[in-house]
Chain A
Amino acid sequence: MSRFLPSFALSVALSLSAWSSASAQTAGGTLNLIVQPEPPTVNVGVNRLGPTTYVGNKIYEGLLTYSADLKPVPRLAESWTVSDDGLVYTFNLRRNVKWHDGEPFTAKDVVFSFEKFLPALQARSRLNLAEVKEIATPDDHTVVFTLKAAFPAFIFVHNTAVLPAHLYEGVTDFRNAEANTKFVGTGPFKFAEWKKGSFIHLVKNPDYWGDGKPYLDDIFFHVIPDANSRAIAFETGKVDVLRAGDVENFDIRRLAELDSVELTEAGWEILQPVGYIHLNNRHKPLDDLRVRQAIAHAIDRQFIIDTIFAGFGHETNGPLSRLSQFKDTAVETKYEYDPAKANALLDEAGLKPDANGVRFEVQLVPLPYGELWQRQAEYTREALAAVGITVNLVATDVPGWFKRLTSFDYDLGQNFVYTTADPAVGISYAYTTIEGDNAGTTGGNVNGYSNAEVDRLLAEAGHENDAEKRRTLYSQAQKIISAEVPQIWTHDIVFPTLYREKVRNLITSGLGTDENFADVWLAK
């Protein structure tokens, strides 16, 4: 009895505290965020720019979302099965879901989005659709995708938004459809107002399918174009969250010291960003492996992480992020910072210094996305000058940068890329030449790298249903790519998020702040 009592008391106390923490998720309040740059639309079916998905993912939902350990989590699909041969994906849809205009959500919407709307506007969705043999809807709440061949990455394409088919009846030109600006989704927040240049306002969806959710009454996305002004808005309490790129890294440490401000590095498990210096493998002398290796040895990547990116970032020596399920550091070649070795390799490649100590000249196109990339470009110029490579920095804006990289009109070019949760729907594209150049965008194979063995390995790995075999194939590909350094992987990027301590459940999945915020609540 005497033993029982304390344990009974303890269990009561525990359940009480569990109850109180559950009930502590108080409803109400306004969350103030920053969206920058201001997106052209918040319809995530139209484009997938960072700012568009940040706002749009609160309005639109996909069939699934993904946990931080990359497990699929139910969203518009309540449950799903994948056949043993990996060919048939059956999704059972939620039954009590309504579009924001009151119409019921059904399997028809899923088919319309996957088969018609998204492929018309998004190149990535075309690639996904190309894997599908047939989409069937045995009833209003079941969608069955039958694939042409096993494609395990298929589970990772279902956080793409589903769009309301009923708004597009009779429409053929999806890019210019008027319905694109109606912003009707199924998500926890409804579109309320967009004062261009000032703010975007979303309000709670009272008919949301998630019981008792969302907790917030509304969300304002403030448009503040200047990084200093954004920092001030956070400091003065006008906004509650600062995301990657809202302020420069050197300001983050200072802001993190403020009272009741929290910093987290979580929430990038799905996007997996990696920093690059592209090397144009089609230009001499960068087509010579020894020259690429020399460049890799000449750049102190730890310096880039510690000094330029204020300590946010990790070393990486291959195409995959540390967050990837297939990352195999054991097979990667690490090119240590070693200018003497760089010099030796350049000598060996026959690139002797002239009277001024210059071996050859290259043009570097910096990433026009803010101060830090410019500093990295300046550092690269100094580092390569030390081994006799003259680097000329080319000033461009974003369209000019796109143009140069995608038309191979550059020698060295900076970039950062979301390598994403599965290489087969992400980064494989950037190292293969199976379907030609793959250089239509800066996320493609703009290195102009081509290796038949890598092409074969990555294509096979994408369509291998056996998890272990798949892992082996990706390891083999990583081994070759890492050794051949078609580009420099400067750092595995850490994008910290700063938020006021009163904001709870801000990051609940691998999508981080791109989640739908149904779970976010404000402590009083």
Chain B
Amino acid sequence: MMDRLGFLTGRAARAILILFGVIVLNFVLLRVAPGDPASVLAGDQGAADPAFVEELRRDLGLDRSIPAQLWVYTKSLAQLDFGQSYREQRPVVGIIAERLPATLILTLTAFGFALAAGISLGSMAARHAGSLLDTVLTSVSVMFFAMPLFWIGLMAILLFSVWLGWLPSYGMATVGADLSGLSYVADIASHLLLPALTLGLFYMAIYMRVTRASVLDVLDRDFVRTARAKGLKPGLIWRRHVLRNALLPIITFASLQAGHLIGGSILIETVFAWPGIGRLAFDALMQRDYNLLLAIFFITSAIVVGINLVADILYVAADPRIELGA
């Protein structure tokens, strides 16, 4: 029990350190990049003298040195105050809260689909290694892996929205439809299908390749041969010996990919006009909305760190040889 607690505190401390590092690094990088919010806000005006820009800079606290600005920021962060957005003039937490659910729905659906489909198809390919089915599955996975996400997205829109007219091409819900209850859920689901599949297909291809390789590797192991020799039923061997052992690299991969998934969602959110934080981050970067951007980095990093923590725990569940705290 103590072990477990110690493990968790250690990991939590490490997570906080990582998050702090992310904030400091990005804070400095953003301020070093050419252009600041004052120049963007002044640019919005079409006419401004340098005095006007300086006045703005003073108002936004950008006339201070970077360490001084960082100190002010860290102090308010310690009180869990992420500050105001320069552009929208309201707390960044509220802005992110509006957009985070959309990204979570999209990425979790894509992630779930990618894992489920990747593991099943990968196992299927491994079981029939060398067959026509294996060749077809492997080729398809290479294809999805090789194609850029935005291109798959556009082709999916062309096929399912423009030519077939089955699915909506953009947004998260039908604008102005005023639906509720089940029909609202169905409406969101129909909007979710294309972006989630597009994002998911790419990752599915990765999980499928990893699963196939991992399963083939395990199938060759002595303990599998022993299990067969013992006369265990193939289904049992498959579930208890092969799949469980083959899962380890997939967990590693999936946890590492979680960060990528959020990154990949920026492209998908753009192509499908999905109102998530990926696009919010992109817009915030373009406007140098420092506070908003840093808070997004903080939250996405927290999610990635959290997922990795969960992966650590899952390792233990999947492989009794690994101990907590190790």
Contact = CB atoms under 8 A, between A and B. Distances in A.
Interface string A221-236: 0111110110011011
Interface stretch (B202-210, B281-289, B295-303): B281-289
Contact of A48 (B46, B50, B276): B46
Contacts of B95: 196
Interface stretch (A261-269, A304-312, A397-405): A397-405
A224 B170 contact: yes
Interface string B199-226: 0000000000000000000000000000
B42 to A, nearest CB: 5
Contacts of A439: 50
Given A180-B89, A195-B275, A196-B98, A124 B46 contact: yes
A515 to B, nearest CB: 19
B43 A397 contact: no
B43 A402 contact: yes
Nearest to B37: A399
Interface residues of A, number: 60
Contacts of B288: 399
B270 A396 contact: no
A403 B175 contact: no
A441 B48 contact: yes
B190 interface: no
Contact of B275 (A181, A198, A228, A436): A198
Interface in A298-340: none
A444 interface: yes
A49 B171 CA distance: 24
Q: Name the residue in B46, B172, B287, B288 with the highest tally of chain A Cβ atoms < 10 Å from its Cβ.
A: B46
Interface stretch (A35-43, A73-81, A142-150): A35-43
B176 A223 contact: no
Contact of B271 (A124, A226, A402, A403): A226
Given A198-B172, A220-B175, A399-B288, A225 B270 contact: yes
B99 A197 contact: yes
B169 A229 contact: yes
A441 B176 contact: no
A229 B45 contact: no
Nearest to B85: A40
B42 A123 contact: yes
Given A123-B42, A196-B275, A232-B157, A440 B49 contact: yes
Q: Name the residue in A402, A406, A418 with the highest tally of chain B Cβ atoms < 10 Å from its Cβ.
A: A402
Interface in B255-270: 269-270
A486 B319 CA distance: 72
A222 B45 CA distance: 24
Interface string A430-458: 00000111111111100000000000000
Contacts of A402: 35, 39-40, 42-43
Interface in A161-179: 175-176
Nearest to A443: B46
Given A222-B175, A225-B273, A229-B271, A440 B42 contact: yes
B321 to A, nearest CB: 46
Interface in B30-68: 33-37, 39-53, 59
A3 B89 CA distance: 72
Given A48-B44, A233-B170, A402-B39, A40 B287 contact: yes
Given A123-B52, A440-B52, A222 B171 contact: yes
Interface in A114-173: 122-124, 126-127
Contacts of A465: none
A373 interface: no
B4 interface: no
B294 interface: no
Nearest to A46: B89
B43 A229 contact: no
Nearest to B89: A176
Interface in A1-57: 30, 32, 37-38, 40-41, 47-49
Contact of A229 (B84, B170, B286): B170
Nearest to A232: B169
B33 A123 contact: no
Contacts of B75: none
B228 interface: no
Contacts of A208: none
B34 A400 contact: yes
Contact of A436 (B49, B87, B272): B49
A438 B49 contact: yes
A222 B169 CA distance: 13
B177 to A, nearest CB: 11
A445 B42 CA distance: 14
Contacts of A443: 46-47
A37 B87 CA distance: 13
Given A196-B98, A196-B275, A236-B162, A429 B47 contact: yes
Nearest to A404: B34
A40 to B, nearest CB: 4
A440 B59 CA distance: 16
A243 B115 CA distance: 42
B46 A441 contact: yes
A180 B84 CA distance: 15
Nearest to B54: A440
A232 B161 contact: yes
Interface of A: 30, 32, 37-38, 40-41, 47-49, 122-124, 126-127, 175-176, 180-181, 195-199, 201, 218, 220, 222-226, 228-229, 232-233, 235-236, 238, 396-404, 406, 418, 429, 435-444
- The 9 tightest CB contacts between A and B, nearest first, are A399-B35, A197-B275, A440-B48, A123-B48, A40-B87, A403-B35, A400-B34, A47-B44, A224-B273
21 contacts: A40-B287, A48-B45, A123-B45, A123-B46, A126-B52, A181-B89, A197-B98, A197-B280, A199-B175, A226-B150, A232-B162, A232-B169, A232-B170, A233-B169, A236-B165, A397-B286, A403-B34, A406-B39, A440-B49, A440-B50, A441-B43
Given A176-B89, A229-B271, A400-B34, 20 more contacts: A47-B45, A124-B45, A175-B59, A180-B89, A198-B173, A199-B175, A224-B171, A226-B270, A235-B162, A236-B169, A397-B285, A399-B37, A399-B287, A402-B40, A403-B36, A436-B50, A440-B42, A440-B52, A441-B42, A444-B47
